Structure 1
């Protein structure tokens, strides 16, 4: 369900640069980029005051870097690493920002029947970097897979603590932390007076306001052929979040292995090729794309029917393309 890396580098499903180039000639429009969460994070803002833009961008990146450091499983000083060291023994005090992420992870795990599971970090032998790919042996998988169980992530809301019940358990928040971190970046921009902004992090986009008086335009890559655009979306507030099985993968013995792991088998998911979700609220979609990739298109359509505020596109393994009525309207109107 989650990536082998804490926050996934990806070929973005969303193509925004194409639509930003003309606007960047406007002196009120500024874009800044930094590597963050294993991908390139781009922020585009529009405001008349250059110093305001500079300070806002600086503060937003600083806040997102702080949160990413807190929730990375690959930094020894992170709280995720502290939870791993304390697994089977002690509770760990968790600040409100991370506790909210853990609550969202637990909620999505319950909703999806475990298709999303933040304890997938126990499957530590996978590496989807094409330069140094690695996969677990059957013996390693047999040892690690029993440690994957979201029910053994214990949260105490009164004490604001978290605990992993059994020794050897590990968290991987890569499928649930990125969107809240982007949301914190947007909130920081707003505190600095920026009302028109886009954050684009490796296929996940958050927008507010407009660009030169028009809604932000977001180009959608086709999950079945990522080099091609499927269409464009126009959005003034909210999220476009993407998951795909072509992100971070390697081939071995004629088979392609990708980074979205099934918590039941410990192997790459066999669900859709890609999922795109559009919504105003973070809570409506956070973790849902990864869960659909594992549980399959039928389960995804069932969950989406219960969440009418989410517009969705699912590229099936059979090559078919399913769109909700809302997504079809969005792509047709752009």
Structure 2
């Protein structure tokens, strides 16, 4: 289970005024500003927001996201890699409040997924080679691990159940525990950004973290109009109108993968099998907690449709959908209520979770 450097969602804002230009009549004025972190574009789209607030909000967002990503990088030298080395060598290490918060935030997703969402499997992700390349790779770059190596890893696999927090200390008896928070980091950072810009007086903003969408307030006098990408095509599965604070997060096997001798291996790894997820090709989650929604979208990639409903209920999600590898589309009652049909796209026969 690792992060998706994906473009899983589309901001469905066609027909609204261009960023930075005044609307016509009662149309809101939008200002859109972006910044890049490790090659990933974060964008904030403000509605009817004074220029000084926009400037302060963007500066605040950059000051949160970039340092946090540097501290949590799972393979370049960072606070996280240093903590992982300490855990491997000594079984305990002092952790910053952010890392302790992420460990605690992962717990409900870990439990609801039956252990399939597990941030302690950084060593397994490295074994597959995804720590050596941030995007798609082919057989000229790396090869999949040998079956024997994966079976050996499973013999003494780490788990979040091997970890406890005592004050500022993270403690484990399993030296294979190696944290990788990429499946939570975007949502965690987004929550901090929304809190910060709201404290500056911003009331209406759409935050795009490079695919996942987080809303604050409204798009002027209307809801934010968002679209959910079809993981099996270029179109959209449907649209969602949101106001207030919401997270619309998605995951899929279409952005990062290893291709070896014509076979494609997705980047989301099931810790219970040590092999890539095979159930689904794309998932989307609607929720109120950005960190939980971000992690839940990844965890759903590892669950079958008959497991997804209970998973969503345990986490209190507002809506979930998934598209299986055979193209079957599933959604729960919450997502069915929230979604509107896409104006164009492939015909979809929805099943109910």
TM value normalised by structure 2 = 0.84
Task: Give the corresponding residue for 1:166.
Answer: 174
Q: Deviations over 1:100-156 (max 9, x none)?
A: 111011232122221111111011132353344542233443444434322222222
Q: Which residue, out of 226, 239, 246, partners 1:232?
A: 239
What CA distance in whole angstroms lies between the structure 2 residues aligned with 1:234 and 1:140?
47
Whether the aligned pair in 2 keeps the contact of 1:242 and 1:289 (CA below 8 Å) is: yes
What CA distance in whole angstroms lies between the structure 2 residues aligned with 1:153 and 1:202?
31
1:130 aligns with 2:125: no
5+ long unaligned stretches in structure 1: none
Root-mean-square deviation (CA, aligned residues, Å) is 2.4
1:222 aligns with 2:230: yes
Q: Which residue, out of 212, 215, 219, partners 1:207?
A: 215
Cα distance 1:229–1:126, how it changes in 2: closer, same or farther (>3 A)? same
Q: Which residue, out of 149, 152, 158, partners 2:159?
A: 149
What CA distance in whole angstroms lies between the structure 2 residues aligned with 1:160 and 1:179?
23
Cα distance 1:20–1:205, how it changes in 2: closer, same or farther (>3 A)? farther
Task: Give the corresponding residue for 2:81.
Answer: 81
Q: How does 1:231-310 map to 2 (within 5 A)?
A: 231-236=238-243, 237-282=245-290, 285-306=293-314, 309-310=317-318
Whether the aligned pair in 1 keeps the contact of 2:108 and 2:315 (CA below 8 Å) is: no
Cα distance 1:333–1:141, how it changes in 2: closer, same or farther (>3 A)? closer
What CA distance in whole angstroms lies between the structure 1 residues aligned with 2:48 and 2:143?
46
Whether the aligned pair in 1 keeps the contact of 2:205 and 2:215 (CA below 8 Å) is: yes
Aligned residue pairs total 325
Whether the aligned pair in 2 keeps the contact of 1:122 and 1:148 (CA below 8 Å) is: no
Cα distance 1:38–1:154, how it changes in 2: closer, same or farther (>3 A)? farther
5+ long unaligned stretches in structure 2: 23-28, 343-353
Whether the aligned pair in 2 keeps the contact of 1:47 and 1:194 (CA below 8 Å) is: no
Whether the aligned pair in 1 keeps the contact of 2:285 and 2:317 (CA below 8 Å) is: no
Task: Give the corresponding residue for 1:9.
Answer: 5
Q: Which residue, out of 160, 176, 190, partners 2:184?
A: 176
